[in-house]
Amino acid sequence: MKRTELGRMSLDDLWELHVEISETLASKMGAEKNVLEGRLKQLKSTSPADQQTRTPGRRPYPTVFPKFQNPNDPSQTWAGRGKQPRWLTEQLKSGRRMSDFSIQQAAE
């Protein structure tokens, strides 16, 4: 259909043509969308990179045993990792050494 023919058509005929084009366009777009969604599902199920990301996020770490113990309260221990506990910093400020709180020294 040429543009000159559109100019000769009545308003009702143009509206019917508009409705017909809209319906055809919507059905073709829906069919194309279904095809693309099917391809996407197929890619998701067979992607090796996707399967690698499904592995457990964190590996198991060994248990860290305490290396230092408060002589005033033996239930307070520290493994030597992270921030020093308050009881240890207070004892170190008073002049004691870190080796005084070692659990291995107390066991010997």
pLDDT band at 6 (very low <50, low <70, confident <90, very high): confident
Residue 86 in tokens: 């308050």
Q: pLDDT (tens digit, 9 = 90+) per residue, 63-98? A: 999 999 998 999 999 999 999 999 999 999 999 999
Q: What is the pLDDT of residue 108?
A: 47
**Alpha carbons 21 and 11: distance in angstroms, whole number:** 15
**Alpha carbons 54 and 6: distance in angstroms, whole number:** 58
**Alpha carbons 94 and 90: distance in angstroms, whole number:** 6
